[in-house]
Amino acid sequence: GEDVEQSLFLSVREGDSSVINCTYTDSSSTYLYWYKQEPGAGLQLLTYIFSNMDMKQDQRLTVLLNKKDKHLSLRIADTQTGDSAIYFCAEGPKSGGSYIPTFGRGTSLIVHP
Amino acid sequence: KAGVTQTPRYLIKTRGQQVTLSCSPISGHRSVSWYQQTPGQGLQFLFEYFSETQRNKGNFPGRFSGRQFSNSRSEMNVSTLELGDSALYLCASSLARTSDNEKLFFGSGTQLSVL
């Protein structure tokens, strides 16, 4: 199976909270990342969490990490239409291996009025 | 500080041709990675260059190759194009990729269409 899995689509109403989920397989990953890709653009690093943390908050973004279940989530509070994009979860680096992060296939977030 | 620049932005080729894509990293960044993005496969790692040397390679056929110059600019080449090579090719740069938390900075990509 894939190293990093995400659901493909999420639709929310403007003003609501969005929660994007991700599962990963490598428990040795030191960092877990969330990247955002807007239409016609490359990926932009949104936030990241160190593997020994449970939660990280950054303005409207909250990252939750459950190491036991290898589950990562990104919560966007007060979601706006400008948050519509593809969100990628990534893990890395592999213990003793390269520093190439492994990306999920991305979750398309659609925000409607 | 200028971001990662990829040229050209769009490219249309026919099967059997070859193509060269260019990437200029952020000034001071020495590592350049290339990714292929398709709707079906998501983001697939192609290769990474550091100090003009290929340091990591993904699972792509030998038709895909790359190089890095002394100024850290990188090019990737795809020979004998196939329809399945149609994709968005993304370049990402980072400082040195020798620490646990090297952040990647992506360009806007080159959209390649193979007819």
Residue A1: is its pLDDT beyond 70? no
In angstroms, what separates the C-alpha of B106 from chain A's closest C-alpha?
5
Is the minimum CB–CB distance between B97 and chain A shorter than 8 Å?
A: yes
Q: Which amino acid is at B105?
A: F
Give me the tens of pLDDT residue by residue for chain B, a chain 115 residues long.
689 999 999 999 999 999 999 999 999 999 999 999 998 888 999 999 988 999 889 999 999 999 999 999 999 999 999 999 999 999 999 887 566 667 889 999 999 999 9
Higher-confidence residue of A39 and B13: namely B13
A66 by DSSP, 3-state: which? Answer: strand
Q: Do the chains contact at A40 and B108, CB–CB below 8 Å?
A: yes
Output the pLDDT for position A93.
Answer: 64
Q: Which amino acid is at B103?
A: K
In angstroms, what separates the C-alpha of B90 from chain A's closest C-alpha?
7
Nearest to A104 by CA among A54, A41, A49, A34: A34
Mean pLDDT of chain A: 89
Is the minimum CB–CB distance between B100 and chain A shorter than 8 Å?
A: yes
Q: Do the chains contact at A98 and B55, CB–CB below 8 Å?
A: yes
Nearest to B78 by CA among B48, B113, B50: B113
Would strands A71-76 and A61-66 be described as parallel, antiparallel, or unpaired?
antiparallel
Residue A95: is its pLDDT beyond 60? no
Output the pLDDT for position B9.
Answer: 96
Nearest CA in chain A to B105: A44
Nearest to A50 by CA among A32, A74, A66: A32
Q: Do the chains contact at A30 and B100, CB–CB below 8 Å?
A: yes
Is the minimum CB–CB distance between A7 and chain B shorter than 8 Å?
A: no
Nearest CA in chain A to B34: A100
* Sign of the torsion formed by the C-alpha atoms of B82, B87, B88 and B94: negative
Residues near A97 by Cβ (< 8 Å), separated by ≥ 6?
none
Which of A45, A93, A100 is opposite residue B103, by nearest beta carbon?
A45
CA angle B6, B8, B14 (to 5 degrees): 130
What is the per-residue pLDDT across A10-37, written as a single tens digit (0 to 9) for each? 999 999 999 999 999 877 777 899 999 9
Residues near A27 by Cβ (< 8 Å), separated by ≥ 6?
A67, A70
Residue in the structure block whose two tokens are 């090019």: B75
What is the per-residue pLDDT across A49-73, written as a single tens digit (0 to 9) for each? 988 889 999 999 999 999 999 999 9
Q: Do the chains contact at A106 and B105, CB–CB below 8 Å?
A: no
Nearest CA in chain A to B6: A42
Residue A15: C-alpha distances to residues A79, A80, A91 (Å): 5, 6, 29
B105 with B93: CB under 8 angstroms?
yes
A75 by DSSP, 3-state: which? Answer: strand
